[in-house]
Chains A and B, each alone.
Chain A
Amino acid sequence: MKLPLTVKLKIACRNTLAIVCTKPLYSLLTVAAAISMLTIIIWSLNYQLVGYILTNDGLSPLQKVRFFSYGYEALFSSFDSFLSVSIISLSFLFGINIAVLTYSLRRKIASTRATGASGLAATLGILSSGCAACGTSLLGPLLATLGATSLTAVHNIGAAFSIIGSLLLLYSIYKITLQTQTKNLT
């Protein structure tokens, strides 16, 4: 019997919450993965700078940690609020996705499509930051040459990537958790 979409969504939501919220290990994994993804997105364009700071003998470990925290300020100063919210959402969804993916892998519930969606979503997430920081400077003229008439849309391409990535992650979470056996969660 084929279940209605609303029932499937309810099952997926319940399974997701059961994995992420009731199991401390997976809660921790969610947070760690989300922070990692957010850090990668913020610093992806400046990986050489990251290497310089990490290997700089003149800085204490505390100063190095503090330097990385400066990058998070960019979410609230350099990125507009819509883009910032979309990047944070994507990172949070990425964390949840990693947790449910790990859970399903441990129970040998393989989902190639979901895994592929996760990888693509992560890539788009990183690209969203690149576009936000300065990619529009490259994409803008290129797309204008190709006929794009609204640079407002191009300017928001970073947010568009984040949103597409978030949708892919939601799809991945939905597919994975739908296959999870409820009895394994009790």
Chain B
Amino acid sequence: MDAHLVGGSINVFWDTMLYFVYMKKTLLIVVSVCLLGVGLYLAFGKDDTAADQSSNKQPKATTQSNHTSSSAAPTELFIGNANAPIMIIEYGDYKCPKCNDFHQKAGKDIRREWVDSGKAKIIYRPYPLFGEDSGLALYASFCAAEQGKFTAYHDTMFSFMWDNYFSKSNFDATTQKLFSPERLGELAGEAGLDAAAFTTCAGGRTHATAYNLTVDKAASDSVQGTPTLIIGGQKIVGPQPYSVYKALLEIESAK
């Protein structure tokens, strides 16, 4: 790059700045104040996610293993070994297309590389967005966890939505009422659960407190959409390539 080009680039930059300074002084001041505010917030603003993450390092779940049934009512929904060192919090909805997109792609890689090997666990938290039946399906997750088969139920629900609707680009399904306690019972039966017990549980209010408490955690974690994952206190919004999650998981595993 010769001197003429370098000098030309400096002139372009300077001319542009001069234009804004003289012609748009007020705008420049406003933009500068806004940028300063954003910078101060990023530098010194309270990190709600990190604070909440630290308080979640010891979740209050009484069901420690997803693979064994427990007589204690579940308060958290685990995928993988509940004693795994790395915690991944996932906010999702079974009827959410992008949640399913994550589940079909990066989610499977995370399960294979990190969860199945015992290096990480996923805490799945309901974030109902698509109608009352969406909330019902998420509430019923606790019924599945009560039988020690939340993972199977979780995978069956996402597979159901993918195979029947999202793989065919039928996104209108998210506004349709798809789930009732009886329908959920049928799907739970396909997942290997006791369908009758599950249906009874899904139609009741046994786990209402646990469900509402987990949903409320979305507010403290500043969740604004799904899927949202939290790894090491860092929030990742939207379905990202597996390499993004892998980088954060490797940072966490190095701690």
Q: Which residues of A contact B (CB under 8 A)?
A: 24-25, 28-29, 45-49, 51-53, 56, 58-59, 63, 67, 70-71, 73-74, 77-78, 102, 105-106, 108, 110, 132-138, 140-141, 144, 149-152, 154-155
Contacts and interface: CB of A to CB of B under 8 A. Distances in A.
B34 interface: no
Contact of B238 (A45, A73, A152): A45
Contact of A105 (B15, B47, B173): B15
Contacts of A151: 171-175
B171 A58 contact: no
A78 B102 CA distance: 8
Contact of A74 (B42, B171, B234, B240): B240
Interface string B7-32: 01101100110010001000000000
A141 B129 contact: yes
Given A25-B5, A106-B15, A137 B129 contact: yes
Interface of B: 5, 8-9, 11-12, 15-16, 19, 23, 42, 47, 49, 93, 96-99, 101, 105, 129-131, 169-175, 224-228, 234-241, 243-244, 247, 251, 254
A137 B12 contact: no
19 contacts: A46-B236, A49-B234, A73-B243, A74-B239, A77-B105, A78-B105, A78-B238, A78-B240, A106-B15, A106-B16, A132-B238, A133-B238, A134-B224, A137-B98, A138-B129, A138-B225, A141-B129, A149-B172, A149-B175
Contacts, number: 121
Contacts of B15: 105-106
A134 B238 contact: yes
Contact of A134 (B9, B23, B98, B234): B98
Contact of A56 (B99, B225, B251): B251
Contact of A52 (B169, B228, B234, B237): B234
Contacts of A52: 234
A140 B174 contact: yes
A133 B235 contact: no
A74 B5 CA distance: 35
